[in-house]
């Protein structure tokens, strides 16, 4: 009888342990599949209405303002549309490069960070221009004016030196708004955008080419391919590989009245039909999402592979 009781207690303990491990495993699988960003991450916001530049950090599922700077913007108000119109563009941009003196002209101050204007959305909407920067100036009097640049975002020399420690080229975004409202600090609350991302990944992994390609805009371009070519290319990979896993990590959503941007760490892993590894890559992916016929669609995507 004592043996039976001991065995029964042991069975209960094993059952509880199994249930606990099962819950933990399933939680890890979910987190591993869609690991939304939880670590702090610096992002810049610009409110043209108040001439404010906000340094924020992504914490607790929102962008929290750390510091506010006054900024001087384009001499002509409104959204940039053409080369030489002296307007500051509105949208979501990534800092792609930076310059210091003597390569940098004195009027741009101590440092200049170049934005990726025109980005894919600007190209789609035929907005032209170039050399849009976040920079400083050697003329402090200019900063007393709200609108005195050729379309750039301008701050003090000491401020841009402070900001540079928060900017990672190719990763850090700057979101420029005509008028910034609180909702854009909470992009993770946009369940429609989150669902869009999750089901796009799901159809990619399940190799459902018709559903997958439906997530793309008719004007989509990537790697020199349009939507039709992209579908053929992706379908050829579906045929070649037995399984495809994307495993997105550190997913971040950025929203703007014109379009949205999603960034994540992509860990692509595929197997061949004989069970061997097909292809493995890891890097940062950026996708641009806009509306077409009342539905969100990807207009462009860019992948930057990690170097080992």
Q: Tell me the pLDDT tens digit for each residue of 129-140.
A: 999 999 999 999
Question: Can you tell me the mean pLDDT for 95-107?
Answer: 97
User: pLDDT tier at 38 (50, 70, 90 boundaries)?
Assistant: low
Give the pLDDT confidence of 9-18 residue by residue, as tens digits: 444 443 434 3
Q: How far apart, in Å, do the first and last CA atoms of the chain sit?
A: 62
Domain ranges of the chain: 42-182, 187-305
User: pLDDT tier at 307 (50, 70, 90 boundaries)?
Assistant: low
Mean pLDDT over each residue of the chain, to the nearest integer? 89
Q: Bridge-partner residues for 268, per DSSP? A: 281
Which of 72, 196, 215, 231 minimizes the C-alpha distance to 145?
A: 72
Does residue 39 surpass a pLDDT of 80? no
Weakest-pLDDT range from 185-194, 202-211, 249-258: 185-194
Question: Can you tell me the mean pLDDT for 185-199?
Answer: 94
Q: Which helix or strand (DSSP H or E) is residue 229 part of?
A: helix 227-240
In terms of Cβ atoms closer than 10 Å to its own Cβ (0-12, 13-18, 19+), residue 192 is exposed
Q: Which residues of 200-231 are buried (b: 16+ CB within 10 A; e: fewer)?
A: bbebbbebebeebbebbbebbbbeeeebeebb
Question: Can you tell me the mean pLDDT for 146-159?
Answer: 98
Cα 279 from Cα 1, distance rounded (Å): 58
Which of 182, 211, 215 minimizes the C-alpha distance to 289?
A: 215
Which of 17, 41, 106 minimizes the C-alpha distance to 251?
A: 41
For the record, the structure tokens of 203 come out as 């159809």
187-305 — its CATH code?
A: 3.10.450.50
Does residue 223 surpass a pLDDT of 90? yes
Q: Domain 42-182: what homologous superfamily?
A: L,D-transpeptidase catalytic domain-like (2.40.440.10)
């Amino acid at each position: 009888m004592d043996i039976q009781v001991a065995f029964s207690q042991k069975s209960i303990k094993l059952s509880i342990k199994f249930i606990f491990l099962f819950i933990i495993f399933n939680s890890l699988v979910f987190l591993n599949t869609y690991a939304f960003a939880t670590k702090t991450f610096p992002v810049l916001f610009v409110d043209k209405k108040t001439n404010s530049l906000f340094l924020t950090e992504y914490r607790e599922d929102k962008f929290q303002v750390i510091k506010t700077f006054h900024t001087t913007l384009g001499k002509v108000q409104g959204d940039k549309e053409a080369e030489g119109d002296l307007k500051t563009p509105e949208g979501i941009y990534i800092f792609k490069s930076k310059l210091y003196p003597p390569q940098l002209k004195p009027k741009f101050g101590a440092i200049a960070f170049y934005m990726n204007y025109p980005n894919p959305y600007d190209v789609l909407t035929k907005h032209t221009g170039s050399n849009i920067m976040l920079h400083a100036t050697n003329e402090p009097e200019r900063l007393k004016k709200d609108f005195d640049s050729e379309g750039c975002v301008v701050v003090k020399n000491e401020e841009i030196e402070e900001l540079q420690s928060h900017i990672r080229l190719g990763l850090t975004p700057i979101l420029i708004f005509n008028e910034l409202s609180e909702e854009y600090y909470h992009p993770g609350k946009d369940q429609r955008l989150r669902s869009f991302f999750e089901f796009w990944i799901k159809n990619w992994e399940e190799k459902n080419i018709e559903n997958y390609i439906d997530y793309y805009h008719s004007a989509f371009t990537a790697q020199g391919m349009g939507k039709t070519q992209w579908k053929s290319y992706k379908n050829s990979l579906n045929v070649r590989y037995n399984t495809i896993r994307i495993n997105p990590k550190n997913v971040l959503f950025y929203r703007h009245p014109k379009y949205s941007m999603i960034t994540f760490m992509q860990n692509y892993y595929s197997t061949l039909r004989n069970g061997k590894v097909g292809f493995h890559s890891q890097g940062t992916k950026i996708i641009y999402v806009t509306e077409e016929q009342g539905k969100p669609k990807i207009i462009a995507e860019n992948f930057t592979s990690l170097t080992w």
